[in-house]
Amino acid sequence: MSLRDRIATWNIVGKTKLWFTISIVIILVGIIAFIVNQVTLGGPLNFGIDFRGGTVVNITCTEKPDESKVKDILSEKGYKNAIVRGAEGNKILIKLSEETIKAEDIDAIVSEISQNVSPVTQHSDTLIAPVIGGELQRSGLIALGLALLFILFYITVRFAFQFALATVLALFHDVIITLGMLALFRVEINAPFIGAFLAIITYSVEDSVVVLDRIRENLKFKTRETFASLVNRSIQEVWIRSMNSSLTTFFAALALLLFGGSVLRDFSMTLAIGLLSGTYSSIYIASPLLVLWKKEKVPQYKVPRVKEEVAITVDVPELDTEKPVEKKTMKAKKSSKGKKKGKKR
């Protein structure tokens, strides 16, 4: 049996409770991660310097520096929460969460790295104020809100409001799950995070529109098929197409995650998690929501009213069969008539 034949036998809509249960479990895991991070890190998410503010030091060495040795030097200097990432060209990036750091302290760190790790040829430092981080958060939330609003308007005009509402709820599902997984793995969230989120929304909406468009086309030729059966058939028809499109992008994000280095690690992880969640929600969340909201009226056939038969009883006198019945002969009748005529004469 081919894959298409197997897909034709799947009852995706009939297992709605299973799909919702999987999503609820993943969301609960993310909520627990939020609580744990709030207690340990002081916030639900691991916001980076782009949001919290701090100092970024770029160092260029003659040879490829060892990141672990640089972390040890920073820990000895008192910067235990410093983030160290290697870059191309024998460069290394150091992120310090301290808002203000003296120039003498930076020079001491660079000198220590030059002596114990690799000779430093060039270095520069950049201060990021917390005000910029606050503006970045507000800009990201505004961009996300406008994107969801325009998506709601677009799908309402093209399809219907129920379709648009199901799509937006699926997008919220993707956002919550992605944030929960980032909190679980404590991925550092910086400026590229906003771009990754907008890309996730784009792919999720694309998958949802493909499924919804097939549902709308099949509704034009609906006969006596139930709406749940029609939605299930529509998902079966576009399942392979949706998976091929999403998995192609997912493998590209996975390649960036594995081979893109530490600079692209957080961005690619966010994108990969969001792509998986978006593909799942467009098929297993948005479409079943339509079935739950679509209350089909069961045809009620009028049963013809049966007239009650009234039994009428008539009292009939019983005949006494023992007594002989008197029968008048025709002759007697004639003789009586003849007598009457004679009298008249």
pLDDT tens digits, 12-63: 998 999 999 999 999 999 999 999 999 987 888 888 777 777 888 888 888 8
Annotated domain spans of the chain: 3-43+132-293, 54-128
Report residue 161 as tokens.
């409001």
- Read off the amino acid at residue 312: I
Q: At what angle do helices 161-185 and 16-40 cross, to 10 degrees?
A: 40
The 3-state DSSP class for residue 82 equals coil
Is residue 63 within 8 A of residue 90, CB to CB? The reply is yes
Max CA separation in the chain (angstroms) = 173
CA distances from 41 to 47, 58, 186 (A): 10, 25, 10
* Backbone φ and ψ of 287, nearest 5°: -65, -45
- pLDDT over 90 at 83, yes or no: no
> Based on C-alpha coordinates, what's the Rg of the chain?
42
Of 262, 289, 305, 292, which Cα lies nearest the Cα of 93?
A: 262
The pLDDT, as a whole number, for residue 71 is: 87
Helix, strand, coil share of the chain (percent; to 5): 65, 10, 25
Q: Please tell me which residue, 30 or 75, carries the higher pLDDT value.
A: 30
Nearest to 89 by CA among 269, 258, 261, 256: 261
**CA gap 104, 56 in Å, rounded:** 15
Asked if pLDDT for residue 225 goes beyond 80, the answer is yes
Query: How long a stretch of residues is the chain?
Result: 345
Q: What is the CATH number of domain 54-128?
A: 3.30.70.3400
Supply φ then ψ for residue 110, to 5 degrees: -65, -40
Q: State the number of CA atoms in the 13 A half-sphere of 198 facing the CB.
A: 15
DSSP H helical segments within 159-226, as ranges? 161-185, 192-220
pLDDT digit string (tens) for 232-290?
Answer: 999 999 999 888 888 888 898 899 888 877 678 888 888 999 999 999 998 999 989 98
d(CA 283, CA 231): 10
What is the distance between the alpha carbons of residues 231 and 236, in angstroms, rounded to a whole number?
9
Residue 232 has a CB neighbour count (10 Å cut-off) of 20
CATH number of the 3-43+132-293 domain:
1.20.1640.10
Portion of the chain with pLDDT greater than 90, in percent: 16
Q: What is the pLDDT of residues 130-159, one digit of tens each?
A: 655 667 678 778 877 887 888 888 888 888
Give residue 130's pLDDT.
65
Contact 42, 268 (CB under 8 A): no
pLDDT value of position 99: 58
Burial class of 101 by CB neighbour count within 10 A (0 to 12, 13 to 18, 19+): middle
- Predicted confidence at residue 26, as pLDDT, reads 95
Query: Bridge-partner residues for 120, per DSSP?
Result: 61
Tell me, what's the pLDDT at 342?
A: 47
